[in-house]
Amino acid sequence: MKMSEDLLRIDKLVVQYETEEGICKAVDNVSLKLKRGEVFGLVGESGCGKSTLALSVMGLLAKPMGKILAGHIYLNEIDLVNLDPKELRKIRGREIAMIFQDPTASLNPVFTIEEQLIEAFRAHDKDIEMDAAREMALEMLKKVGISNPETRLTQYPHEFSGGMKQRAMIAIAMANNPQLLIADEPTTNLDVTIQAQILELMRELKQEYSSSILLITHNLGVVAELAERVGVMYAGRIMEYGGVDEVYHDPLHPYTRGLLNSLPGFKSKSDRLAIIPGRVPNLVSPPSGCKFHPRCPHADERCAKEACEGYVVEGRFVACHRVLEKMKR
């Protein structure tokens, strides 16, 4: 296989849902690249399309409401969008794995952890002997730091705490040593000290495996702790991406800047927090032009008319007319 630098390449992806209220463009012309071995953080508020993007990569969009209208998703230069379901099933779970926000809902309550791990191994290699698969399952549980792994293997998910369930989910996801791990809000439902444990585990796994991680979260702190690059999504579009240091210290897009400034206790040392006025738009009837313009302090007439397609400067991407104007000057 040809090894390009990019593991995952999303090209002008458009995904929409048909809802009772109308058509909702959840992902609107998104292009993104993930390098081999890197952790890419995708941040955004609820409903910005970040989870839809992840599900599109996994080929798990809710059918028939969700549909990829245009664009491509290349994994190792193979276009997943037009792949037949059989082929996709071979890739899913082996090349790409996913962990979700709610481990309770993602684990099957009627099977033991061992059975679920063994299933993950054998789904992609039927020749693995049961004994060998058991050994591998035990090995995986040890790797994700579950104490007493021999006993734990024979238990059911309800006997695990929230943090342990997420560890078990990670074990299942990493079972086939995937090239791409998609982690959708992996620590959101966990307590602060357990969140720290899971982040530490992901850091260790990143060292041990060479997987790329697409980390999806609304928590800017989690991204800063784990990711090398970050993309900021708003109303179905990528507003900005770049290295975490650059984006956090010198945000280009007004939305990114607004978000960072509004976090309590960080940038704002004063009593009052900087705010982004208004609310996240409804994607069934989104604003015209740049979708952020009604909330943007720098918006002008042009912003209300046409959305900025975005441009790349020194490895950073930003989709804002006003920033471009400023740079030209």
Partner 1 sequence: MGARGFIEVKRLKKYFPVEAGIFMRKVADLKAVDDVSFTIDQGKSVGLVGESGCGKTTVGRCLLRLIEPTEGEISFKGKNILDLDKDELRALRSQIQMIFQDPYSSLNPRMTVGDIISEPVIIHNLVKKDEINNRIRRLMLDVGLSPSHSRRYPHEFSGGQKQRISIARALSVIPSFIVADEPVAALDMSVRAQILNLMKDLQDKYNLTYLIISHDLTVIKHMCNRIMVMYLGDLVEIAERDSLFIRPFHPYSFALISAVPIPDPAKKKKRIILKGDVPSPINPPSGCKFHPRCPYVQDICSKARPDLEEIERGHYAACHFAQDLKPPEGSIVEF
Instruction: Identify which of residues 25 and 229 has a Cβ nearer to partner 1 in the complex.
Output: 229
d(CA 255, CA 35): 25
We find the least distance from the C-beta atom of residue 254 to partner 1, in angstroms, to be 12
Using CA atoms, how far residue 39 sits from 14, 42, 286, in Å, is 23, 10, 31
Residue nearer to partner 1 on the CB measure, 13 or 230: 230
| Residues at the interface with partner 1 (CB under 8 A) | 45-46, 147, 161-164, 191-197, 199-200, 218-225, 244-245, 248-249, 258-260, 262-266, 271-277, 279-280, 295
| 96 or 235: CB nearest partner 1 | 235
Q: How far is the CB of 46 from partner 1 (least distance, A)?
A: 6
CB of 164 to partner 1, least distance (A): 7
Residue 180 CB coordination number (10 Å): 21
* Coil, helix or strand at residue 308: coil
* Least spacing, CB of residue 181 vs partner 1, in Å: 19
Length of the chain: 329
Q: Is residue 219 left, alpha or beta, with left meaning phi > 0 and alpha meaning psi from -120 to 50?
A: beta
CB of 299 to partner 1, least distance (A): 16
At which residue do the structure tokens 């705490």 appear?
Answer: 161
Distance CA 125, CA 101 (A): 28
Judged by beta carbon, residue 17 or residue 160, the one nearer partner 1 is 160
In the complex with partner 1, the residue whose CB is nearer, 156 or 248, is 248
Q: Which residues contact 119 (CB under 8 A, 6 or more apart)?
A: 111
